[in-house]
Each structure stands twice: as structure tokens, then as C-alpha cells.
Amino acid sequence: MHTLVFLSTRQVLQCQPAACQALPLLPRELFPLLFKVAFMDKKTVVLRELVHTWPFPLLSFQQLLQECAHCSRALLQERPSTESMQAVILGLTARLHTPEPGATTQPLCRKHALRVLDMTGLLDDGVEQDPGTMSMWDCTAAVARTCIAQQQGGATEPGPAPIPVEVRVDLRVNRASYAFLREALRSSVGSPLRLCCRDLRAEDLPMRNTVALLQLLDAGCLRRVDLRFNNLGLRGLSVIIPHVARFQHLASLRLHYVHGDSRQPSVDGEDNFRYFLAQMGRFTCLRELSMGSSLLSGRLDQLLSTLQSPLESLELAFCALLPEDLRFLAQSPHAAHLKKLDLSGNDLSGSQLAPFQGLLQASAATLLHLELTECQLADTQLLATLPILTRCTSLRYLGLYGNPLSMAGLKELLRDSVAQAELRTVVHPFPVDCYEGLPWPPPASVLLEASINEEKFARVEAELHQLLLASGRAHVLWTTDIYGRLAADYFSL
């Protein structure tokens, strides 16, 4: 639904030249809505002029493009339009190249100099590129090009130097874009356009390049470091971690494929692990830790005991956890603070089941997001866990994909979860009833790769849907879609 103010604003922007001429006459209180409408409708001429004449110290995408009183559409949940993003960047460039107003120039655009352009929070869904929208890679490249051009071109108009503008962005970098992004970060030092990274995601980046990039980032701005597919090992991690630990405001650290075989420890490996633990103890604001696909068997107590504050999000997917690891976590200060827990890929069907249930009990009061993909949970284990699982009354998301559950088990889960009023999404497996000739117990690889009987599964979906309707929970999504980007980011919980 749109308000009359929104509809009037949209009408005003139909003729872009006239709207640009009218901007100095409009109350500045209308600028936020003007920006959202112009961004939504791709009114690029107006959008560029809005940024050029922005009358507030802050222009924040997260504030301006969310659902508001005038329009329920949340643009941050959509891929941004390429045209609109380019218009914003052009408006910023024009602003930097415009001299400060004197006594005879228009005062509106500099009554409150824009100091911060916050472009963080854009949707990064990882799907194939749509030519009409910008991915996170595109946004990173566009901002980087602007920084480099600003430094190379300098001011184009005479007069006082422009007031510096801090541009806050979430950056993604890989081997191909590393040199380009490094040049942009270097160019922004001492430039009127200062690039400030909030969340850094580096993929398949060599160790020396990762270190060089970290050294160029503002220590006061960085919130998250996410290193993916780097296969660092303990040696590489021991080189990188002190450069990460200097970011004292870091709230989220995501490391993957950290291998140090505890079954055949070496002197160097143990030294590197101890050094890594010592560096982890330097973080004072860390709330999320992800160590996916890292060998942590029997070492979780050493890792978590070094942290200064309890974690709220812990991802330990495919970490070969042992019963003692789960028991330690259940008894640690972290358990009672966890909002998000990911134990995917750890076998919870045998001796790990009881410790896992203890962990679930300890975190029941706070848990919002639980991911248990490929944990070898069959009906027996699920039914034994349901009394504890249903005590997680604040749970919003439950991921069970890749577990050998039957239709009977799923129906029992659906019925018992009626007590979980906040539950919105359940990602469930294809029931074992829908496979032909399935070995038992079925390996996760078989469940993921074997074909299913589509006719049987259609009947399963219909029955689950009817059960949801009958219990008044049509708003709860039960799905097998693991690629639907339904899992919540920690910062959105």
C-alpha cells in the first residue's frame, strides 16, 4: 500500500527536469522519500541531483530503502538496479567536483554537508547476474573505479577543496579483482572520497594478498571478515590472524577449511594452533564465529575458552565434532547466548546425540536459527529430540535437509512444532519414503544424489500443506529448497 504522500512524490518525479529545478524549493524532510521513489522508479536524473544536493550529513541505503510508512516495499531485499546505482555514484562524483558555495550560490545543497554515504546492506544473493541489476561484485567494482578516478582526476573546478565524504561499503574480492580493489583502497587514503569497508569477503585469495588487503582497511569500520575457499591451514592462519585481530570492533569472523590434523600433530602445527588461540583472545567484540569445514575434533574447548565474550552465533559445519566437544559447548557460557547454531555435517546419530540434546537444552531460551543439514538424524533420533526442540519457543528457522527422515517423522515434527509460535521456515529433506531401493542407513551423499519418485513427493507436499492449514499455520514455509537463501545472516537476527 502507498500513502497519498508517496503517490504525490511519484507524480512529481514524472518530469525529471522540472523535478530537479524544484528541489531547492522543497522541504528537506521530503528528500528521504524522494530518494526512495527515484531509486525504485529509476529516475536517474533526479537521483543524481538528489545525491548532489543532499541536505543531511548521512545518506544511508539501509535507512532509505527499507519498508517505510509511505511504502511497504523493502528495496534492500532486492538486487539493486544498475541504473540507480550508477546514478548515485555519478551524483557523488558531481558533488565532490562542485566547489563549496559562496554568498551568491545556492545554499541548500551545503547547508548540511554530506559526510557519509552508507551503501552497505545491499542484497548479495549469489545468483546468476541479471543484466539490469548489480551484484555485490559489481557494486564493489563500481565504487572502486570511482575512488581511483577521483584520485587520478583530482578537482575539476577551482576553489576550496571539497569536504571529504566517507563511503561505507561491503566489499567482495577474489584473485581477479584483488589488484583493482587494492589500488582503490590506496587511492582513497587522503582523497576526498574515503572508502570504508564494513564487511570484507575474500574468496580464493593467496595469503600474502589477504594480508596486504587487511593492512589497507580502516580498523574502526570493519565489522566482519569472511575468508572463503582459501584453504589456509594452521600455518596460513597463524600468519593472517594477527592482522585480523587488530580490528578491535570486529563482531564476525568467518574462517573455513582450517586443517590441522590432531591425530598426527606436529610441533609446528601445535605451535601454530597455540598462536592462533592467543590471537583469538584479543577480540573484545566478537559475537559470531564460523569455522566451517575445519578439523576441530577434541579441540573446541581450547578454541572457545580463549574468547573474551560469549558468542551469539556459532557455525561448526563439517568440523568432525566429538561428543566431548558438544558436552563442553553445552556447559560453556556460550550456550545460553546462542541465537544461531550450525552443526551441519556432524554425525549426531550415535554417541553425539545425548550431548547435542544437552546443548539444545542449554540454548533453548535464546536460539532463533538452527541448522542441522546432513547430521544423520533419522526418525528415532528426531523423535527423541522433539521434547527438547519444542522448548526452543523463539526458533524462527530449522534446517534439516539431507537427513534420513520419513514422512511419519516429518508429520510428527509438524504437529509438535505448533508450540513454536515464532517458527517461519523449515527446510526439510525429501522423505525416505520417496526414494526407491534406498540402502539403510543411507549415506548423506545418497540422499543428495539419488532420484526421488516425483509423484510420491507431490503427495507428501500436499499432505504437509493440508496439515499446516489445519493447524492455522499457513504462514510457515516448509520447503526442500536449500538454495532459496532462506537462512538468516547473524546481523539480521
Q: Residue 45 above 80 pLDDT?
A: yes
Is residue 329 a contact partner of residue 357, using CB atoms and an 8 Å limit? Answer: no
Q: At what angle do helices 267-280 and 233-245 cross, to 10 degrees?
A: 20
- Position 351 pLDDT exceeds 80: yes
Nearest residue to 151 (alpha-carbon basis) of 200, 187, 125, 111: 187
At CA 323, angle to CA 399 and CA 332, rounded to 5?
A: 80
CB 87 within 8 A of CB 60: no
CA distances from 275 to 230, 269, 311, 317 (A): 19, 10, 21, 23
**Residues near 84 by beta carbon (within 8 Å), at least 6 away in sequence:** 38, 39, 42, 44, 47
In this predicted structure, the answer to whether residue 262 has a pLDDT above a threshold of 50 is: no
**Does an H or E element contain 324, and which?**
helix 323-331
- Can you give the pLDDT at residue 14? 95
Q: Is the four-CA dihedral 252, 256, 261, 265 of positive or negative sign?
A: negative
Count CA atoms closer than 13 A to 80's CA, side-chain side: 29
Task: Tell me, yes or no, if the pTM score tops 0.85.
Answer: yes
Candidates 398, 476, 464, 470; CA nearest to 431 is 464
Residues 310/311/312/317 CA torsion (nearest 10 deg): -150
Instruction: Write out pLDDT tens, residues 312-336.
Output: 999 999 999 999 999 999 999 999 9
Overall residue count recorded for the chain in this entry: 493
* Torsion angle defined by CA atoms of residues 160, 166, 171 and 173, in that order, rounded to the nearest 10 degrees: 30
pLDDT, tens digit, for every residue of 221-243? Answer: 999 999 987 777 788 889 999 99
Backbone angles phi, psi at 169, to 5 degrees: -140, 160
Average pLDDT over residues 37-58: 95
- The two beta strands, 165-173 and 369-371, are unpaired
